[in-house]
């Protein structure tokens, strides 16, 4: 399994920095190192240039570890799915940037779901990044609509790209992935494996600590065009409600209760 262990990736030009300690950008275990570099290196470099602080990009080894990171606010910037925002603004984090373009979710499968029916997934094991992702929640909603709730097994804790790779290697027959991963697949692969587009879309937000200094906040906002994952704009209040916000709050409460 391609899984990021706790990885710290430093992106900073050789320069003299005004900050004594680096800014930490927590990105979660959403993607493997290759996609972290693709999506966030230029943004981190630009924030470093504008703020005159080194920027460290840090990825957690699991979604559970990332939840711990968010709860303890162990970092300066945090990228999260939009359904996390309500839970963590209640805990003091501040929305700073929000994606203005939403990612779509696909079910990628060897089964001919469209022509032969979704019941072909019964008993199947589907790769899903985590139960805390929008991809999982949307897939569960779709399974319920199809009358398949409880009839499909899950294999969790994969990045979106590693889930697709494992399926393509023949180790699994189905995976739930973001459209950015699906669109990156060669056309002959897209033709070989059927992709079912789920109706809803998934956006993202960059949160910051409540005590972030104005220089850092300005650097983050003015670096938004360097983010290569979706498109971004400054977050404004009131923040738009996400349909899975309350579901995630219940998940987070349950997770923290089980840690005691």
Residues 202-243 pLDDT 10s: 789 999 999 999 999 999 999 999 998 888 999 987 666 788
Burial of 216 (0-12, 13-18, 19+ CB in 10 A): buried
Three-state SS letters, the chain: CCCCCCEEEECCCCCCCCCCCCEEEECCCCCCHHHHHHHHHHHHHHHHHHHCCCEEEEECCCHHHHHHHHHHCCCCEEEEEHHHHHHHHCCCCEEEEEECCCEEEEEEECCCHHHHCHHHHCCCEEECCCCCCHHHHHHHHHHHHCCCCCCCEEECCCCHHHHHHHHHCCCCCEEEEEHHHHHHCCHHHHHHCEEEEEEEEECEEEEECCCCCHHHHHHHHHCHHHCCCCCEEECCCCCCCCCCHHHHHHHHHHHHHHHC
Query: Sorting pLDDT into bands at 50, 70 and 90, what band is 246?
Result: very high
Residues with Cβ within 8 Å of residue 236, at least 6 apart in sequence? none
Q: pLDDT grade, residue 6 (50/70/90)?
A: very low
More confident residue, 4 or 17: 17
Q: Are residues 108 and 195 in contact, defined by beta-carbon separation less than 8 angstroms?
A: yes
Q: Hey, do 7-101+203-259 and 103-201 end up sharing a CATH topology, with the first three levels equal?
A: yes
The dotted CATH code for 103-201 is 3.40.190.10
pLDDT at site 17:
64
Note the pLDDT of residue 13.
44
List pLDDT tens digits, range 42-67: 999 999 999 999 999 999 989 999 99
Please say if the pLDDT value at position 91 is more than 90: yes
Q: What is the pLDDT of residue 3?
A: 38
CATH class of 7-101+203-259: alpha beta
Q: How many angstroms separate the CA atoms of 165 and 210, rounded?
A: 38
Q: What's residue 190's pLDDT? A: 80
What percentage of the chain has pLDDT greater than the value 70? 91
What is the mean pLDDT of the segment spanning 28-47?
Answer: 90
pLDDT digits (tens, 9 = 90+) for 171-191: 888 889 888 888 888 888 788
pLDDT level of residue 16 (50, 70, 90 thresholds)? low
pLDDT digits (tens, 9 = 90+) for 109-148: 888 777 777 888 888 899 998 999 998 999 999 999 999 9
Burial of 169 (0-12, 13-18, 19+ CB in 10 A): exposed
Q: Where are the domains of the chain?
A: 7-101+203-259, 103-201
Lowest mean pLDDT among 69-83, 148-162, 182-196: 182-196
Q: How far apart are CA 70 and CA 165, in angstroms?
A: 28
User: 228: exposed, middle or buried (C-beta count within 10 Å: 0-12, 13-18, 19+)?
Assistant: middle
Task: Output the pLDDT for position 15.
Answer: 54
Interacting residues of 29 by C-beta distance below 8 A, sequence separation 6+: 3, 4, 59, 60, 61, 62, 63, 65, 66, 129, 130, 157, 159
């Amino acid at each position: 399994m391609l899984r990021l262990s706790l990885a710290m990736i430093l992106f900073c030009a050789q320069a003299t920095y005004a900050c004594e300690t680096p800014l930490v950008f927590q990105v979660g275990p959403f993607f493997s190192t290759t996609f972290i570099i693709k999506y966030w290196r230029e943004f981190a470099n630009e924030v470093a240039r504008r703020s005159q602080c080194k920027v460290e990009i840090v990825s957690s080894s699991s979604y559970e570890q990332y939840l711990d990171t968010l709860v303890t606010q162990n970092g300066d910037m945090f990228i999260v799915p939009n359904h996390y925002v309500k839970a963590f603004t209640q805990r003091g984090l501040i929305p700073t940037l929000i994606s203005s373009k939403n990612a779509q979710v696909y079910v990628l499968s060897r089964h001919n779901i469209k022509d032969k029916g979704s019941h072909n997934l019964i008993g199947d094991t589907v790769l899903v990044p985590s139960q805390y992702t929008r991809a999982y929640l949307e897939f569960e909603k779709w399974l319920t609509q199809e009358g398949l709730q409880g009839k499909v097994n899950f294999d969790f804790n994969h990045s979106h790209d590693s889930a697709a790779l494992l399926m393509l290697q023949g180790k699994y027959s189905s995976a739930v992935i973001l459209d950015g991963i699906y669109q990156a697949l060669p056309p002959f692969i897209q033709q070989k494996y059927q992709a079912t587009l789920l109706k809803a879309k998934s956006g993202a937000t960059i949160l910051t600590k409540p005590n972030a200094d104005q220089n850092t906040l300005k650097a983050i906002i003015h670096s938004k065009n360097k983010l290569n994952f979706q498109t971004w704009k400054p977050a404004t209040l009131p923040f738009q409600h996400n349909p899975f916000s309350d579901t995630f709050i219940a998940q987070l409460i349950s997770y923290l209760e089980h840690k005691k």
